[in-house]
Amino acid sequence: MKKLTIYFLIVHTIMLLITGSGIWFILNKFFPETMVDYYFIIPLFFYLMGLIFIFQFRRTPVDEPKKMVNLYMLMRMIKIFMSVILILIYWFLDKPHIRNFAIIFIIFYLVNLIWETYIYIRMELYFKYKDKQQKNSRKDIEL
């Protein structure tokens, strides 16, 4: 599990660096009027939420898949609430540019949704693999 966590941390960092700088470049080059002042908050928010997501799955027991699904759904709900709170805070601080901020945020949210789904599928496959190994080792012991 430690190797898988390190893999996800490295890929998550690389993915957000590429996505963050790529969207920043596209906005500056092709849509400079939509660029917001505190753009760095958006990739930073998703990076921190991704770290929490990865570290929480690390603590999930391998032999209880229902807990993993519950944790996944709980993390989704927390992310939605935190996203709304962040957008509301930005709205209070910079009302004229809230539309641009929300559009950029939604783009990041969709990209991150795809990434988290990938992480969840990989974790699920890993847990199934470990569970299968444990069952096979139990059968070997019983024989």
**Residue ranges covered by each domain of the chain:** 2-132
52 class by beta-carbon count within 10 Å (0-12 exposed, 13-18 middle, 19+ buried): middle
**Helix/strand/coil for 133:** helix
Q: What pLDDT, in 10s, does the model give residues 62-87?
A: 667 677 778 888 888 999 999 999 99
The pLDDT of residue 143 is above 60? no
Provide the angle, in degrees to the nearest 10, between the axes of the packed helices 2-30 and 98-142: 160
| Total Cβ atoms within 10 A of residue 3 | 8
Q: Which of the pair, 128 or 49, is modelled with greater confidence? A: 49
pLDDT at 84 (0 to 100)? 95
Q: Distance (Å, rounded) from C-alpha 126 to C-alpha 143?
A: 26
Q: What pLDDT, in 10s, does the model give residues 21-66?
A: 999 999 999 988 888 888 999 999 999 998 988 888 777 776 676 7
Q: Distance (Å, rounded) from C-alpha 127 to C-alpha 132?
A: 8
Average pLDDT over residues 124-136: 77
Q: Which helix (H) or strand (E) holds 14?
A: helix 2-30
Average pLDDT over residues 113-128: 81
Q: Distance (Å, rounded) from C-alpha 44 to C-alpha 102?
A: 15
Residue 94 · residue 36 · CB < 8 Å? yes
pLDDT at 70 (0 to 100)? 83
- Phi, psi dihedrals of residue 61, rounded to the nearest 5°: -65, 135
**Which parts of 33-127 are beta strand (E)?**
none
pLDDT at 142 (0 to 100)? 59
